Amino acid sequence: MLSDPQSITYNTVAKSLARISNAVDNSVYRLNDTAGQAIYTLTLQHQFKSRNRVVARLQRESIATDPLSASTNIETSMAGTFTLDFPNAGLTPVDAQYLGSALVAFLTSAVLLRLANGET
């Protein structure tokens, strides 16, 4: 089990997310950031069957001005998910770690921005 709280950095600002839920196969961490007017939720989960899957998902919810009506606010949310999927035989968790590390290294800030702008 990972430590409580978990720390994430959003736009160069560290955020401390406290564990709000814990089960055998998942944990959920959350921060209601009143200063930034946002809610951050980090969900960590795994399943180990004929294929193994581990998932880390970060969601950010906030209030924004409705682009169709400047006097109205709307709830908005976005999420990013990282998934490792690998067989329980033939490849090891270390192999999955290497693959995940390679992908994380590839996803630099510049590459993420290009992807978010629609480049492939």
pLDDT tens digits, one per residue of 68-106: 888 888 899 999 999 999 998 899 999 999 999 999 999
Q: What is the token pair recorded at 57?
A: 């998902």
CA distance 37 to 32: 8
- pLDDT for the residue numbered 34: 83
| Mean pLDDT for the chain overall | 93
Could you report the per-residue pLDDT of 10-36, keeping only the tens digit for each? Answer: 999 999 999 999 999 999 999 999 877
Could you report the per-residue pLDDT of 54-72, keeping only the tens digit for each? Answer: 999 999 999 888 888 888 8
| Residue given tokens 């720390």 in the structure block | 7
CATH code given to domain 6-89: 3.30.380.10
Above 80 in pLDDT, residue 3? yes
